[in-house]
Chains A and B, each alone.
Chain A
């Protein structure tokens, strides 16, 4: 038994993939409630601001061009934060379910990183689900371009990972009884003040807000997606977006990992 057990020393990559497979199995099983939770809000906004209001002529014709990238960014944010933070609050708070993964023969930071990767994948699923539906609801979008497709992929993946890391951080610092606050006080304001439903350059009219929203990670994802999806629309310069996303990702990973280690190891 001893010899057999010590001979079986799986590499970290193999353990990591097994952890990821576990999440894939669970997500596949929960895909309908997951999409309902994640896609509902951006799709409702799409219907009201991308269909109803333009029909009523309250919105200019070109508004959907600014709205679509924002809706996509919100889907990424909700998909990632919900899929990482919600289970983590429960795991660390009362079910302790994550313990069996913390006993896996792999450094603990890789357990945290696996959660980030799984969360990013779920964010991508949410975005890919919302994108065609939003386009369908809004109708033809002026200036929508597939010219920068590789960059679209880069910004979307960046966004998914950054929000997934934010989810890791929030999931580790929020105690179970405060879970309601997480969405009411952190996620909802982030979405409303994240330049998702209005372009950043439009805030020239409100300079103070134009500066204030720069602390919001969602601003950069929404503006980044505008830059690559509807490049003719005034937007934040792409290098600025990419630089900010790099910084955000590094900061959230540091904060998230530190919070995770604190919760995982007594």
Chain B
């Protein structure tokens, strides 16, 4: 196997936003540093995720990743974890502050044009060219990559058929639904035959049916041997689709393995999460004393207990909480999965 993507010690620090003087608009001179491209989810919108320092907002903090050719690779993390910035750097749209990144051996900074030739990008928010109709969006994008109009027209129609947009070729982009626009973005990312396809949270905002349809499309692309890198904050999506998943948070890689292997690392047992009406710390001891409990974690008002059976322990855990003077306001059960691993790695929940 050859390496499709490699990052070494990748760092990105966005300049700290200038304090505003009560005016509504951004400061003159545009957005300093700018939000990361391809839509929201950037550090400016999720200050809780990225670490804000005096020097700026640290979006990537020494990220090392390797993706093999033909792999379906997932980047999993909450909003602000640095996923979109990672995609931005790998797609030459964000300059790293430090470290290196390579696509097929080409440096994303020094050989940006060569990198762009190898990649297709599906942005977080569809950004079709509204001056052009559906088919033209594809034909022109192909032309930017040197495909003649005759070749790309046939290819575009095939792609549109395959993505269920065959009868919308002449439509204006505005006439498409959100899901259809998202599929148009996938067609656009494929029209120039890229080696690596990046998808930034492609299923956000799609209804469950459209999401499943998109999963099928992505599986098909992977079966054709393409390298796919997808960011998501949906556990099940990463679990269902990806051969390997990197869990990132605050710009750092926390774990990277096959979903099955990652799940083995998750704390054993079922997660029973009790939300209390106040800080959960006082209930920790009583919860740990319940028969069979493996681990207890406390995060604010949340009491997270891992138990081999889960359900059986609920009544005893409620009693334990009440014994500590707390009332249980919500209960959630989760089988061992990537989410429980993520929780135990970061202390934070996804999504």
Hey, which bits of chain A sit against chain B, CB under 8 A? 1-2, 4-6, 8-10, 14-15, 18-19, 21-22, 25-26, 29-30, 92, 95-97, 99-108, 172-173, 175, 177-178, 259, 262-266
Q: Offer 17 A-B interface pairs, CB within 8 angstroms, sorted by A.
A: A1-B193, A5-B193, A25-B131, A96-B39, A99-B93, A99-B123, A100-B128, A100-B144, A103-B116, A104-B116, A104-B144, A106-B116, A107-B113, A262-B30, A265-B93, A266-B36, A266-B93
Complex interface: chain A residues within 8 A of B234 (CB): none
Complex interface: chain A residues within 8 A of B188 (CB): 100
Q: Are B95 and A265 in contact (CB under 8 A)?
A: yes
Q: Are B144 and A101 in contact (CB under 8 A)?
A: yes
Interface string of B28-48 (1 = CB under 8 A from A): 111101111111000000000
Q: Are A100 and B141 in contact (CB under 8 A)?
A: yes
Distance between Cα atoms of A2 and B117 in the complex (Å): 11
Q: B249 in the interface, Cβ–Cβ < 8 Å?
A: no
Q: Are A21 and B143 in contact (CB under 8 A)?
A: yes
Q: Are A175 and B146 in contact (CB under 8 A)?
A: no
Distance between Cα atoms of A21 and B331 in the complex (Å): 59
Q: Are A262 and B93 in contact (CB under 8 A)?
A: no
Q: Given known contacts A6-B118, A99-B37, what 20 new A-B pairs fall within 8 Å (CB)?
A: A8-B145, A14-B146, A21-B140, A96-B125, A99-B121, A99-B123, A100-B137, A100-B144, A103-B92, A103-B119, A104-B116, A105-B145, A173-B30, A177-B25, A262-B30, A262-B34, A265-B92, A265-B95, A266-B14, A266-B37
Distance between Cα atoms of A9 and B28 in the complex (Å): 39
Complex interface: chain A residues within 8 A of B37 (CB): 96, 99, 102, 266
Complex interface: chain B residues within 8 A of A8 (CB): 145-147, 193
Complex interface: chain B residues within 8 A of A266 (CB): 14, 33-37, 85, 88, 93-95
From 121 to 147 in chain B, residues with beta carbon under 8 angstroms from any chain A beta carbon are 121, 123, 125, 127-132, 136-137, 140-141, 143-147
Interface string of B78-92 (1 = CB under 8 A from A): 000000010010011
Q: B195 in the interface, Cβ–Cβ < 8 Å?
A: yes
Complex interface: chain A residues within 8 A of B93 (CB): 99, 102-103, 264-266
Residue from A5, A97, A175, A177 in contact with B130 in the complex, judged by beta carbons closer than 8 Å? A97
Q: Are B141 and A15 in contact (CB under 8 A)?
A: no
